[in-house]
Amino acid sequence: MKIPFTKLHGAKNDFLVTPAADVPVTDLQQLAIAICNRYTGVGADGWILLDATKGPGALGQSYDATIRIFNSDGSEPEISGNGTRCVALLLMRDSGEDRVRIRTAAGIKEIRIIPGDHDPEFEMNMGDIRILELHAKVQERDAVILDVGNPQCAIPVDDFEFDWRSAGAAIERDPRFPNRTNVSFIRAVDRHTIDVRFWERGAGETNSSGTGSTGAAMAAVARGFAGSPVTVLTPAGPLQLRFDNGVFLTGPAEYIADGSFYYGKIVSS
CA distances from 72 to 2, 31, 32, 227, 265 (A): 19, 10, 6, 34, 21
Is residue 269 pLDDT above 80, yes or no? no
The secondary structure of 78-126 as a DSSP string is: S--HHHHHHHHHHHHHHH--SEEEEEETTEEEEEEEE-SSSS-EEEEE-
- Identify whether 56 is preceded by a cis peptide bond (ω within 30 of 0): no
More confident residue, 201 or 94: 201
pLDDT score, position 120 = 81
**Mean pLDDT confidence for 90-104:** 93
**Mean pLDDT confidence for 120-126:** 93
CA distance 122 to 74: 27
Burial of 29 (0-12, 13-18, 19+ CB in 10 A): middle
pLDDT score, position 65 = 97
pLDDT score, position 1 = 87
CA distance 226 to 196: 13
The secondary structure of 133-174 as a DSSP string is: EEEEEETTEEEEEEESSSEEEEEE-S-S-S-HHHHHHHHHT-
Contact present, 7 and 1 (Cβ < 8 Å): no
Is residue 268 pLDDT above 70, yes or no? no
**Mean pLDDT confidence for 128-141:** 96
Confidence of residue 117 (pLDDT cuts 50, 70, 90): low
The tens digit of pLDDT for each residue in 193-232 reads 999 999 999 999 999 999 999 999 999 999 999 999 999 9
The tens digit of pLDDT for each residue in 229-250 reads 999 999 999 999 999 989 999 9
Which domains does the chain show, CATH number per domain?
2-126+253-262 (3.10.310.10), 130-245 (3.10.310.10)
Confidence of residue 56 (pLDDT cuts 50, 70, 90): confident
Write down the pTM of the prediction.
Answer: 0.89
